[in-house]
Structure 1
Amino acid sequence: MPLHVFPAPAPALRSVLAALGSPTAVREAHTPALRSVQGSLSPELPLPVHVLDRIVPNEAAPRTRLAGWRFLVRSGERAVAAADTMLTADGWTFSHFFEGPYIASTELAVRQAESTATHYQPRLLSVPELYMLTLWLHHDIEADAGGGTLAPTDLLVPLAPAPTGITAHRPHHVADLLPVMTLRVTPAPLPDVPGLLGTPA
C-alpha cells in the first residue's frame, strides 16, 4: 500500500477508545449518526491534524503546527463520525466527536491516494484562513508525523467542500497550490487616490 500511516500516540488512541466505551460521551456528542449506531464502533485511520495558521507570501517552506490526531469512527463498513484528540499538559486526551461532509471526503481522498504508485505519509492540513481542509501527502514517509514543514513536492488534496475556485479531490503540488492560497488571503492594495489617507489640517 503506498500510504504509510503512522500509528497515533498510544494515549490518544486509549482516550478515544475510552470515549467510545462511555455511553455518556456518545450520548452527549452532537453526532446523531454516532448515537443511532447499533453495534460496535472502532477508531481507525489515525491522521495527524496540522494547522497552517498564517500564509506568508514568498515563504519557501511554510511551517505548520500539530493540533491533534483524528480517527475515523467506523461501524461495519462505513465511517459514521470522527474523533479528535488534543495535546494537553497531561498528555494526549480525547477532545470531541463530530460528523459532516469531511468524513466521507477524507475516506474518498485516502482511497484515491492509495490507488497511486507513489508512496506518501498521509496527514490532514487545516487552513483556517480559507476554511479549508486538505489531505496532505508528505513525500518523506519516514518523517516524524508531528513535524510541520510543507515541502514543495508534497501533494495537497482539498477535501469537499472546498473554497470557491479550488477543486476538491484534485491533487496539487504545494508549490502550485500555495500561490493560489496566498492570493486568496492577501488583501488587495488600496487604490492610490489623492486625499484618501487624510485631509489637510
Structure 2
Amino acid sequence: MPLHVPPAPAPALRTVLTALGSPTAVKEARTPSLLHAQGPATPELPLPVHVLDGIDTSGVPITRLTGWRFLIRCADRAVAAAETMLTPDGWAFSHFFEGPYIGSTERALRQAETMPQPYQPRLLSVPGLYMLTLWLHGDCDADGATGHPAATDLLVPLAPAPPGIAAHRPHRVSELLPVLTHRVTPAPLLKAPA
C-alpha cells in the first residue's frame, strides 16, 4: 500500500528551499555529500519528527513535535537531510546533516511501502537511547504534527539501533514501548549498608 506522507507546513518547506539556495548555508553545513552533489538538490518526503518524552499514568506515550525532516535528493538518491524547527516566530531552518539515518530512513520507507495496510509515516526519537524509529501511524488522515503512538501503530527502529533491538524490524507500539521505557528508566539507587 502506498504511504500517506503528511504535508509539511509551507513555511517549513520554504526555509529548506531557501537554505538549499544559499551557498553559505550549504557550505557551512559541512555535509560533504551535499557539497559535492551533482545536479539540483530537492527536498522530498517531509516527515514530522516527534520526541518520546515518557509514558503517562494510563500508559499512553507522551510525545511532542520538534520539527520536520526532509530528505535531500540529488539525482537518484538521498544525499543528506534538512531539519526545521518551530520557533516563536514560526518555522525556521535548523541544519543539514548526513549519516547512517539517511539510508536507513529510505530503506524503512521502502519496506513500509510493501505492507498491506496503509500508514502515515513519521519519525519518533527516543533520546534516552539515542534511537530513531520510523513511526507508522494507522490513521492516514491525522494531522502529522499531533497525536501519540497508538498501541497498534508500528515502530521500525532505524540503523544504528541500540544493542538488543533489531533495526528494520517492525514492532507494534504495544510490544516495543515497554522495552524502551524499561531501558530508559533509571535503576533505583541501592543504599550502602550501615
- Superposition TM-score, scaled by structure 2 size: 0.95
CA contact (8 A) 2:55 2:62 kept: no
Q: How does 1:141-156 map to 2 (within 5 A)?
A: 141-156=140-155
Q: How does 1:157-172 map to 2 (within 5 A)?
A: 157-172=156-171
The 3 A distance-change label for structure 1 pair 191 and 4 is: same
Cα distance per residue 1:81-125 (max 9 Å; x no partner): 000001111111111000000000000000000011101110000
C-alpha separation in 2, matches of 1:138 and 1:92: 24
Match of 1:25 in 2: 25
C-alpha separation in 2, matches of 1:172 and 1:9: 29
Match of 1:13 in 2: 13
After the TM superposition, list the runs of 4 or more consecutive aligned residues in structure 1 that deviate by more than 6 angstroms. Answer: none
C-alpha separation in 2, matches of 1:192 and 1:34: 53
Three-state SS of the structure 2 residue aligned to 1:25 is helix
Q: How does 1:1-150 map to 2 (within 5 A)?
A: 1-53=1-53, 55-56=54-55, 59-150=58-149
Moved more, 185-194 or 139-148: 185-194
CA contact (8 A) 1:48 1:68 kept: yes
Q: Which amino acid aligns with 1:168?
A: A
Q: Which amino acid aligns with 1:34?
A: L
Structure 1 regions of 5+ residues with no counterpart?
196-201
Moved more, 44-53 or 56-65: 56-65
Q: Which amino acid aligns with 2:25?
A: A
Three-state SS of the structure 2 residue aligned to 1:70 is strand
- Between the two proteins, the alignment pairs up a number of residues equal to 194
Structure 2 regions of 5+ residues with no counterpart?
none
> Over the residues paired in the alignment, what is the CA RMSD in angstroms?
1.5
CA contact (8 A) 1:64 1:149 kept: yes
C-alpha separation in 1, matches of 2:173 and 2:127: 17
**Aligned sequence identity (%):** 71
Deviation at 1:27, TM superposition (A): 1.1
C-alpha separation in 2, matches of 1:173 and 1:58: 20
| Bigger Rg, which one | 1
Three-state SS of the structure 1 residue aligned to 2:143 is coil
Deviation at 1:188, TM superposition (A): 2.6
Match of 1:175 in 2: 174
Cα distance per residue 1:13-42 (max 9 Å; x no partner): 111011111111111112011001121100
C-alpha separation in 2, matches of 1:193 and 1:27: 54
Deviation at 1:9, TM superposition (A): 0.4
- Superposition TM-score, scaled by structure 1 size: 0.92
Q: Which amino acid aligns with 1:139?
A: G
